[in-house]
Amino acid sequence: MILKISFQNKCYWNFLRSKSQVLMKFLQTVQTLTLGSILRIQPTVGYGSKASPKYGTGGCSRCFSFTKAKPLANRNRLCLEVTLAEASQHVTKFATWSALSQNFKGVVYHSSSRDIFYNLAFEDWVYKNLNLDSCDVLMLWCNDPCVVVGRHQNPWAECNHKHLKESRVALARRRSGGGTVYHDGGNLNCTFFTSRERYNRKNNLNTIISAVTNKWPDVDVSATSRDDIILNKNYKISGTASKLGRKIAYHHCTLLHSCDKSQLIDLLDVNLDGITNKATRSVPSVVKNLQDVNININHGTLVNVIAEQFYKEHLALGEAKIYDIDPSDEKTWPGIHGLKEELESWSWVYGKTPPFSIQRGDDTLSVLLHINRGIIDGVIVRILSDDILIDSLQQLSASLKGVPFTRDDLKSACNVFLHAAVLEDKKKLKLAQVCSLIQEALS
Amino acid sequence: MIQYSFPERKFTEEHEWLLLKDDASDVATVGVSDFAQSQLGDMVYVELPEVGRAITKGEEMMVLESVKAASDVYAPVDGEVVEVNNALEERPELVNSSPYDKGWLFTMKVADVSSLDSLMNEKEYEKFIEGQE
């Protein structure tokens, strides 16, 4: 039996390099113990690598050595792939050894808030305030129903606003990249805060996958190249995004265990006709809930198994337990109310939308609205008509410029314009038609 | 005899580079290093700063988005944004394919040209990234 184990994500290059003697000794021991042979030792390196591994087959002590390698794409990340013969338990031992030897501390928080804005504000607070050079933080949290768009997305192109309003679901924009997701109580969010150097999404996803499969071995979950987690090799149960700074980074992901799938589908079902967009687009996926394959999987059990796995891979900062935190507690997290207010503001949620345009109408009458930062930047009306409406249309266009692209603002701006226009009835009727078409841009 | 002296590309520890347009100028072009772009992966969106914005060394001033990760870009020195690379709105991937040329991010008026002395030159930067590995 050949067992191929990638240690990628388990430990770090600097560490390995400094400990290469110890590592070689350890591998020799493994070899002696298993009576097999190390078939290949090769640093797996990222982009721009100048690695020059020396490896061979057969007898161990002479056959490999560590030479300098440059794991550029994955700075300070483990870059070693070891192929061993029949060594499963010893390999496990090695993995544990390397993780513990790093001496990294960790702590698990569970947020008591179900308010998306407070939970995102907590991420912000950690990002701005904590030094995570020697300690990783995992926050587990869930929200009341909400739709969350990525940093550079267009909410008008990502979610169904009519349905959003009717079902009183909150809309938020997070600071990380990536696509739009729907959250409710049936979705667990995991945020992995680390130093920038220790940022490693695959490692974090492996923590979740190990947690789930250790507890429920029949559940088939795996990570994809896009850093999604899929169930039964097909259905998405987790989406990922991250935020990178100078010293600190965080990676958060969703984990669907029992979310309202019909609500998810309805809210993310959007009519894109007529929208021209430079924003980051979401990649739609077929989703499933973990509970569909195992009835015992729910918020509580997932929180426990993930926290347990996290503490297996870290030295507990205090006790190896889940600490409840309340992100709305300004005393403990000074400044968090301000962060929450900013995340809730229209200028963040909508105003951060990259420029886009939206077209409505047909050959005889059409309108094109340009929207920048959520504000109407220009309106172009094309009309086939005998009436000379040019002046009025220019006035209409001028009066709409600067109006926020919301149903209420657009409606009232149109009404004010129509009310003030002194025109014969026929022209006024035509203008009313134009105005209602403009308002359709928000339907 | 005329002596030519060419401005030298300077680097920050946050992996931004900065290059004066010419030695007599206080306007510099700013981008991210090849090392930075290779670490971040394929760019999908570049959030450019506002022209005319006053910037202070070290502050977060724009965001690069690559494969689901949003990365802050920091101001390399004090100054003011003069021009932004609008081509990146359509083609953010230029940051990957041409980080030192077509993938520049913005130009800035440098408040104090001597502040560039504190930044690393290319050789020092290469050493710096080696130390990071």
SS3 per-residue string spanning A421-443 = CCCCHHHHHHHHHHHHHHHHCCC
Interface residues on A facing B, Cβ-Cβ cutoff 8 A: 13-14, 46-48, 70-76, 150-152, 175-179, 197, 226-227, 240-246, 278-280, 354
**Alpha-carbon span A152 to A281, nearest angstrom:** 9
> What is chain B's Cα-based Rg?
14
One-letter amino acid identity for A350?
Y
Instruction: Give the lowest-confidence range in A179-193, A327-341, A353-367.
Output: A353-367
For residue A420, what pLDDT is reported?
A: 86
Give chain B positions within 8 Å (CB) of A176: 68-70
**Alpha-carbon span A224 to A350, nearest angstrom:** 31
**Alpha-carbon span A234 to A227, nearest angstrom:** 14
Between helix A425-440 and helix A390-400 the angle, nearest 10°, is 40
**Alpha-carbon span B23 to A95, nearest angstrom:** 54
Tell me: pLDDT of A111 over 80: yes
For residue A305, what pLDDT is reported?
A: 97
Tell me: pLDDT of B113 over 60: yes
Give chain A positions within 8 Å (CB) of B132: 75-76, 197
Tell me: pLDDT of B1 over 90: no
Secondary structure class of A183 (helix, strand, coil): strand
Secondary structure class of B4 (helix, strand, coil): coil
For residue A2, what pLDDT is reported?
A: 27
Q: How far is A421 from chain B (nearest CA, A)?
A: 37
A47, A242, A354 member nearest B69 (Cβ): A242
- A171 within 8 A of A164, measured Cβ to Cβ: yes
ipTM of the complex, rounded to two decimals: 0.89
Q: How far is A280 from chain B (nearest CA, A)?
A: 7
Count the Cβ atoms, other than its own, within 10 Å of residue A57: 12
One-letter amino acid identity for B83?
E
**Alpha-carbon span A281 to A173, nearest angstrom:** 14
**Residues pairing with A368 in the sheet:** A359, A380
Q: CA of A314: how far to CAs of A106, A192, A385, in Å?
A: 5, 13, 72
Confidence of residue A92 (pLDDT cuts 50, 70, 90): very low
- A348 within 8 A of A175, measured Cβ to Cβ: no
For residue B6, what pLDDT is reported?
A: 64
Average pLDDT, chain A: 79
- A397 within 8 A of A390, measured Cβ to Cβ: no
Instruction: Give the lowest-confidence range in A39-53, A248-262, B84-98, B100-114.
Output: A39-53
For the CA atoms of A395, A401, A402, A408, the dihedral, rounded to the nearest 10 degrees, stands at 80
Confidence of residue B2 (pLDDT cuts 50, 70, 90): low
Tell me: pLDDT of A64 over 90: no
- A138 within 8 A of A352, measured Cβ to Cβ: no
For residue B3, what pLDDT is reported?
A: 55
Between helix A407-420 and helix A390-400 the angle, nearest 10°, is 140
Chain-chain contact of B68 with A227 (C-beta, under 8 angstroms):
yes
Quick one: how many helices (H) and strands (E) in chain B?
Answer: 4, 9
Q: CA of A273: how far to CAs of A152, A161, A216, A231, in Å?
A: 20, 15, 44, 32
- A77 within 8 A of A9, measured Cβ to Cβ: yes
**Alpha-carbon span A80 to B9, nearest angstrom:** 35
Confidence of residue A208 (pLDDT cuts 50, 70, 90): very high
pLDDT tens per residue, range A17-40: 444 545 555 555 444 333 333 333
- A343 within 8 A of A173, measured Cβ to Cβ: yes
A75, A179, A354 member nearest B39 (Cβ): A75
- Degrees (nearest 5) of the Cα angle A145, A149, A153? 160
For residue B51, what pLDDT is reported?
A: 95
Confidence of residue B67 (pLDDT cuts 50, 70, 90): confident
Count the Cβ atoms, other than its own, within 10 Å of residue A240: 27
For residue A23, what pLDDT is reported?
A: 53
How many contacts, defined by CB atoms under 8 Å, are there between A and B?
87
Interface test mutation site (partner B, options A174, A277, A280, A353, max chain B beta carbons within 10 A) = A280
Please name the residue of chain B whose CA is at the shortest distance from the CA of residue A17.
B133
Confidence of residue B132 (pLDDT cuts 50, 70, 90): low
For residue B133, what pLDDT is reported?
A: 54
Q: In the sheet where A80-85 sits, what is the strand order?
A: A2-6, A80-85, A40-43
DSSP assignment letter at B116: G
List all residues 6 or more positions away from A425 whose beta carbon is below 8 Å from its beta carbon.
none
Chain-chain contact of B69 with A179 (C-beta, under 8 angstroms):
no
Tell me: pLDDT of B88 over 70: yes
For residue A441, what pLDDT is reported?
A: 87
Confidence of residue A58 (pLDDT cuts 50, 70, 90): very low
For residue A70, what pLDDT is reported?
A: 29
